[in-house]
Structure 1
C-alpha cells in the first residue's frame, strides 16, 4: 500500500519524486541506468548563528538527467489532483525548452505524470506528445491534455519486476 503524502504548495510532487528516487537507486544498484535528481537551486540570504535562511531560485533545468544503454535521459516529474486532464500550465516554459533541446539531440525526453486522485496512476508522456499539446497551449488551443489521451496513448508506469516504479520499461 502506498503512503499518502500531504500535499502543500511547498511539497507538491514530493511523493512522486521520492518514488522515482527509489527507482533510480534500484536502477543504479542493478547496473541498469544512472539517473539522478538535480537539486532545486536555493539562494541563501542569511546565516545567523547557524540559522540559515534562503529562498528557492528560478530553475533552469528539469528534475532528472541520466543515461541508459549509452543514451541520455531527461525528464520532469509532475503531479496533478485533477482527474480529467493534466494542465499544461504545470509545465514551465524553461522545462519545455530543455526537454525540446535534449530531444532534438537524441535524448529520451519525457514527463512522468501522476494523477494523485486516481490512486497515483502514473504515465510516461513522450516529448513528441507534449510538443503537440504545447503548440495548442501557446496558441489558441487546449490548455490541458485529457486523461483519456494518457490512457490511450501513453504507457502507464507502475511497480514491476521488483522496481518500485519501473518507468524505464516504457522507453
Structure 2
C-alpha cells in the first residue's frame, strides 16, 4: 500500500534555504528527497552550515544528483573530511525519478532545491521543486503583486 503524500513536509530544523528560487522560477510541484551524506557532511549541516544558492538537480543514469551545493568541511574533521562541492545523490523512488526525467527532457523544466532540512526522525532531506523559469516581465509582476499585498496590509491595519 502506498504511503500518503504530505502537503507540507515535516521540517524540524531548516539548514539551508534557496529563497531566490521562488523569485526566479514558477514552482510547479515539490518533492521530498533523501540525500546521501558522509559523516562529516551531516555534522556540518547539524551546525547550520551549508548553502544551496547556486545549486540544481539533474537526472543522470536513472539517478538524481544534487550538483553545486556547498557543505563546508567540518571544523573538527581529520583526514576523512569530505569534499565541499561534490555531487550528492538524492534518494527518490524510481517512478518519481522517471517522472522528473520526463518533465525535464520534454517540457524544458528545471529541478531546483528549495531547502535542506532535518525531519522529525533526524534525517537530512531536500525539498526539490520542479520549476519553469520566469522572464523579466514575470519577475516585475511578482514584485508588483508583493508590493500591493504589503500596501494592502498597511491599509487594513490603519483603517481596520
Q: What's the TM-score once normalised by structure 1's chain length?
A: 0.27
- Which has more radius of gyration? 2
Q: What's the TM-score once normalised by structure 2's chain length?
A: 0.28
